[in-house]
Amino acid sequence: MTVDTRVLLSGNEAIAQAAVEAGVQVAAGYPGTPSTEILETLARHGEIDVRWSPNEKVALDVALGASLGGVRTLATMKHVGLNVAADTFMTAAYTGVGAGLVLISADDPGMHSSQNEQDNRFYARLAGVPLLEPSDSLEAKEFTKLAFEISEEFDTPVLVRTTTRISHNRGVVTTEARRVRETLGFSRDPSKYVMIPAYARRRRPVLLERLEELTTYVEESPLTADIAGDSTVGVVTSGIAYRYVREVIPGARVLKLGITHPLPMDRIKSFAAEVDRLFVVEELDPFLEDALRAAGIDVEGKAFFPRAGELSPDAVRKGFAAAGVLEAPAPVPEPPATVVRPPLLCPGCPHTAPFLVLKRIGAVVAGDIGCYTLAALEPLAAMDTCVAMGSSIGMAVGLAASGGTEKPVVATIGDSTFLHGGIPGLIEAVYNEADVTVLILDNGTVAMTGGQEHPGTGVTLQGEDTRPVDLVALCRSVGVDDVRVVDPHDLAATYREIEGAIAHKGPSVVITNRPCVVAPTKVKDHPFTVVAEACTACQLCMTAGCPSIVWTDETFEGRRKVAIDTTTCTGCTLCAQLCPPRAIVLDPEWEAPGRG
């Protein structure tokens, strides 16, 4: 190996590199942390058809279709995205593939940026497909390439499961050249691809036979690796947990499972017989541990290692200490008190004003997944529910149907989330005549994941112009009579339109349309400043939660006056609209860049 071919890649970049090298020709997904950068990286390649789909199910449908069409195909999503795609996934295990089809599920133990921390390894068992778990960037590349081979050899979709610590960890990877196989073309085979009951009944035994063959393969696979060590402690592990085990207890004998479904139970049994104490160390649920127990293997695991949250070297060390295998770690003093720093809506965020209005109105707000979920936190504190992509509208309809509140019921949903999973909810509101108001917070991007394009932006993942979805026409076409559009930087107009829509009997929609301040363009307009002599320190501006506004030393009647950080202020005018004594004015000292 020469130093020149070694590059630092994140796990996501390594998976994209694997797709390039494996000759993938179509890739589809929906943005979701920690999976997003896979397709963003792959899109830069140029020769591969890489696309954002409206949601994960459509992405997997596209991927399955392309696979049946005879080209290697990649589908990517975050863990909860596979819930959306699960319908297709479960039956794709019956149809099998044309050319190789690999699905990446990027799980988020610790919920760094997610609403739950479900362990998607269970999906592989549920569907009956092979499951690969890389433990770093190098393996992310190599396992993904191998997954395409397995997919074709065994005629099955393959699930590659990463976690945040794999996807967003950079490590050293060696790159190789791209090799594209000749396209197989689509072969008509209704008994394999048309899953009517009569045909599906024939495919079910095929699936079970395939699992038997896969088990034999896994028993012999180099991905099942017995790492020599002191046999007083044996550890069965996979994924990132393997790295923590090697870090913390380097002397132990380890059975590293690169493929965790189906399991090489013969190998595991003989390993178990050769060690004095057998542990399973795995992140999240006892997926391996339960399987070992079911096979009659005596094993220790979740009694010592946490089931909730992300593992770490410290958590693994504590677990082995609790088991009496390692000495207890020396106590580390707690860090000193510091300020709480939750994520925030950005200065000038177009989502701020609608939630200020909803807070004042006192509406019951069914929220959704996106940056605007941050409006649940102080000081806006204007959201009552947030469960899953697109859930806001249906939940608002249910809250209204329950009669459990006399307050107006409002759903808030971003543009991309609406196109992902909100449209059926809106149709529900029309069809079953719900008296709810839906706020579509249209900022023209998928903001929370870093500013991706979507079907409403008019631009594809590969940067080409396309026809954007017309949200107003869409809402009207499903039967919403009261559809309003307002600029959320006009506080009075936003108030008026939301109140008007709430007053309307039956479903109504308010679309707040103002681009995100950070993507695709970083907005920097003329900033505002506070005339200290005029500030009465009333704190009304502070109710917006803008990160650019802080207290100063000066007071009025004992209350702290405020100041604006003009370097971060984007000039949205919201605080100036709020300020009763009009103490907030355009910064007279600001010079527009490039106009001097």
Partner 1 sequence: MAEPVRSLLLAGVGGQGVVLASMIVAETLLRAGYDVKQSEVHGMAQRGGSVFSHIRFGPAVESPLVPEGTAEVLAAFEWAEALRWLQYVRPGGAVVADVRRVVPPGACSDRRAWLSSYPVIDATVLREREVKAHLIDATALAADLGNVRAANSVVLGALAAYLDVGRDYWESTIADLVPRGTAEVNLAAFRSGAEAPAALIDLPAPETGTGFVPARIEVNESWCKVCDICSRVCPEYCLDLDGDTRLVVVAPDACTGCRLCEMLCPDFAITIHHEGQVPALATTGAGP
Please give the residues from 186 up to 225 whose contact with partner 1 meets the rule CB under 8 A.
none
**What string of DSSP letters covers 548-566?**
TEEEEEEEETTEEEEEE-T
- Quick check: 16 and 42 in contact, CB under 8 A? yes
Distance (Å, whole) CA 92 – CA 104: 15
Q: Which is nearer to partner 1, 146 or 541 (CB)?
A: 541
Tell me if 314 contacts partner 1 by CB under 8 A.
yes
Give how many residues touch partner 1 by CB under 8 A: 78
What would the x/- binding string for partner 1 be over residues 272 to 311, using CB under 8 A? ----------------------------------------
Q: Which stretch binds partner 1 (CB under 8 A): 163-171, 174-182, 278-286, 462-470?
A: 163-171
Greatest Cα-to-Cα distance within the chain, rounded to the nearest angstrom:
82
- Of the candidates 400, 386, 346, which has an alpha carbon nearest to the alpha carbon of residue 516? 346
Footprint of partner 1 on 132-161 (CB under 8 A)? 136
Tell me if 344 contacts partner 1 by CB under 8 A.
yes
Tell me if 168 contacts partner 1 by CB under 8 A.
yes
Footprint of partner 1 on 97-116 (CB under 8 A)? 112-113
Q: Which is nearer to partner 1, 399 or 491 (CB)?
A: 491
340: burial class by Cβ within 10 Å (0-12, 13-18, 19+)?
exposed
Taking CA atoms, 351 is separated from 123, 163, 448, 519, in Å, by 35, 30, 12, 14
Determine which residue in the list 182, 205, 296, 338 makes contact with partner 1, applying CB under 8 A. 338
Q: Which is nearer to partner 1, 37 or 152 (CB)?
A: 37
Residue 472: partners with Cβ closer than 8 Å, 6 or more residues away = 483, 485, 511
Q: Which is nearer to partner 1, 155 or 499 (CB)?
A: 499
Tell me if 6 contacts partner 1 by CB under 8 A.
yes
Tell me if 375 contacts partner 1 by CB under 8 A.
no
Distance (Å, whole) CA 566 – CA 192: 63
Whole-number minimum distance, CB 545 to partner 1, in Å? 5
Tell me if 490 contacts partner 1 by CB under 8 A.
no
- Quick check: 438 and 474 in contact, CB under 8 A? no
Whole-number minimum distance, CB 331 to partner 1, in Å? 9
Tell me if 244 contacts partner 1 by CB under 8 A.
yes
Distance (Å, whole) CA 319 – CA 547: 40
Determine which residue in the list 118, 151, 417, 449 makes contact with partner 1, applying CB under 8 A. 449
Q: Which is nearer to partner 1, 164 or 508 (CB)?
A: 164
Tell me if 596 contacts partner 1 by CB under 8 A.
no
Distance (Å, whole) CA 481 – CA 441: 19
Footprint of partner 1 on 525-584 (CB under 8 A)? 536-540, 542-543, 545-547, 549-555, 557-560, 562-563, 567, 580
Determine which residue in the list 203, 246, 261, 484 makes contact with partner 1, applying CB under 8 A. 246
Distance (Å, whole) CA 553 – CA 539: 14
Structure tokens at 423: 């449209």
Distance (Å, whole) CA 44 – CA 16: 10
Whole-number minimum distance, CB 100 to partner 1, in Å? 28
Q: Which stretch binds partner 1 (CB under 8 A): 51-59, 142-150, 189-197, 327-335?
A: 327-335
Determine which residue in the list 72, 79, 210, 243 makes contact with partner 1, applying CB under 8 A. 243
Structure tokens at 43: 């899109």
Whole-number minimum distance, CB 511 to partner 1, in Å? 23
With vertex at residue 554, the alpha carbon angle to CA 552 and CA 558, rounded to the nearest 5 degrees, is: 110
Distance (Å, whole) CA 503 – CA 500: 5
